[in-house]
Copies of this chain bind each other. A is one copy, B any other.
């Protein structure tokens, strides 16, 4: 069976090469598209430069953090260097660095292509929906292919070289720690700019979104890229790596049939990537031109191809089990169903958004109250879906023998994330067409083109809600399997210490319970810290915008020669985001260490559970209520409940402003927070076994 595994290593590298080649082809294709409008080129260049500035400064800070973390890992993990095997420590530290670097590269290139695509999409929109859609989508697809390619490359390389799946956790931790800060930092940046631009522009002055007079408008467009392209890419890179890593750790701990199960993990990842490539290559807007339909149907096509290909693989390859195929199919299908229910709560053609828009006519307090309420309710279907898929996967695989049940759950997560290439492509499409809409406005391309760009943008928003539900759920399943991985790591350490093994985490144990309660509070505090970061930062930026309107003569009136100082706003967003991104991330890691050193592995098991459960709840609540408010505002702007300028509109704008950091800063960062905490726990499990007070 070892030869089978070698085959899959080879196939993994081959598939990665194909994905990279295809991404490169798409990049060249995008670059080949015409761009002629000088104003658009100018603004697009400003956006690119702003994004690069932010990324450079952010990566510089993260590089320092990563270096410190790598040194800590080198000295302490998996075991203190004076007690353990030094080769393990060196491998772990290198794997960690590799995880951060690969994630950073994928993010960097993704941003580059996205900022190449936005202007071209805007210009193509003059010719219609079809060509503009293709540029926006293919620009996003580069990011999708790179993220999945890099994650498969990294995971396969680390395991192929070291043969030790524990080292994978180091690689995964690298990916996670970068994602934590990239998502949080990008999220703070994007919402600082967005909120400030909306409040000063739409609310105070009554000028349209993307009006070039607004000093924050470029920062807002930069934010879409660094938050939604780079941040989201890092987030899904992290989830995908974590899902594979935990599946491989669990597979390696299985008795006997380890090789075939390891092969299976790689096989599923390969087929998922291939299915995504096919889905990406065939995505088109049909004759009647509905971009939402085009994006969703590519997702369904990719899903179907993946299920068929993995079924074929199960027939063809020795030792591949139908039960595990079933577990991963359940994971994937539940992911799609959760996406659809999320859509029900956030789509403005469905009743919930209309109700919130209607409540807005009674004032902003009702906008907030109804949005919070439906946001809470919207968490239920996803929680039930995750619960059911974990239960079914477990029960399906339980008869295969000891350890298979939890391995089944990890394969459900791998299944759910298999089409992540497609998901990222859809998601990165959003900020590109959002930018394109702004560029069409700023470039003066006319109402017809703006309408086309609006339609593309609206599809991006709708699809984003689905992909967000999908990625939160995937993170949910992944961390359940990481809980299994943690137990397996902790037991290795306990066995090494000659102590009694853990057979589970019993709620009735006060040590476990202690961990649960504190773990549950962490995502709440984490998201609060991020929101407060946006809050503080946006207040600074609003002041700067007010200053510019006062001090730059003619700016408010829109005189030709009155130019706002866009750079100042980008600077504020950048420095604020970098200052605010570290404390929330560190708080989560330090809380984990405190609980671990007090209560040992049992407390950490509880801590992870509490963290997962409340993290999922808060993430779903925040993402969905934010999406809901956004679309309620758009619904009112479309002329309902009094339309633009009405009291309902003012209330809906306030709801949207509350929702912005919910859905784009805190909500989607919680995924990463959960994953980081899970990985820190697994990595430090030996330390907790040796050095805790109660454990």
Contact = CB atoms under 8 A, between A and B. Distances in A.
Interface stretch (A124-132, A173-181, A279-287, A503-511): A503-511
B539 A366 contact: yes
Contacts of A376: 524-525, 527-528
A405 B539 CA distance: 51
Residue of A514, A528, A529, A621 most packed against chain B (CB within 10 A): A528
A125 to B, nearest CB: 31
A380 interface: yes
Contacts of A30: none
A695 interface: no
A372 B617 CA distance: 15
Interface in A311-342: none
A623 interface: no
Contact of A518 (B387, B505, B614): B387
Interface string A526-553: 0111011011001100100000000000
A512 B374 CA distance: 27
Interface residues of A, number: 79
Contacts of A480: 513
- Tell me whether chain A's interface is mostly helix, strand or loop, or mixed: helix
Contacts of A384: 517-518, 521
Contacts of A542: 362
A614 B366 contact: no
A13 to B, nearest CB: 35
Q: Which of A374, A527, A658 has the most CB of B within 10 A?
A: A658
A18 interface: no
Contacts of A386: 517
A604 to B, nearest CB: 11
A366 B535 contact: yes
A353 to B, nearest CB: 15
A616 B517 CA distance: 9
A195 interface: yes
Contacts of A516: 387, 609, 613
A363 interface: yes
A373 B513 CA distance: 25
Contact of A525 (B372, B380, B518, B605): B380
Nearest to A361: B539
Interface stretch (A20-28, A236-244, A294-302, A390-398): A390-398
A411 interface: no
B613 A510 contact: no
A528 B377 contact: yes
Nearest to A368: B658
A654 B388 contact: no
A162 B608 CA distance: 43
Contacts of A369: 531-532, 534-535, 657-658, 661
A278 B609 CA distance: 44
The 9 A-B residue pairs with the shortest CB-CB distance in the complex, in nearest-first order? A504-B506, A365-B657, A394-B510, A373-B528, A376-B524, A387-B517, A376-B528, A383-B521, A505-B507
Given A376-B528, A387-B518, 8 more contacts: A372-B531, A377-B529, A383-B521, A391-B510, A483-B507, A504-B507, A504-B509, A507-B609
26 contacts: A362-B538, A362-B542, A365-B657, A368-B368, A369-B535, A370-B535, A372-B531, A373-B527, A373-B528, A375-B528, A377-B524, A383-B517, A383-B520, A387-B515, A390-B510, A391-B513, A391-B514, A394-B510, A405-B510, A409-B510, A505-B506, A506-B507, A520-B617, A524-B621, A613-B613, A614-B614
Interface of A: 195, 199, 203, 359, 362-366, 368-370, 372-377, 379-380, 383-384, 386-388, 390-391, 394-395, 405-406, 409, 480, 483-484, 487, 503-518, 520-521, 524-525, 527-529, 531-532, 534-535, 538-539, 542, 605-606, 609-610, 613-614, 616-617, 621, 654, 657-658, 661
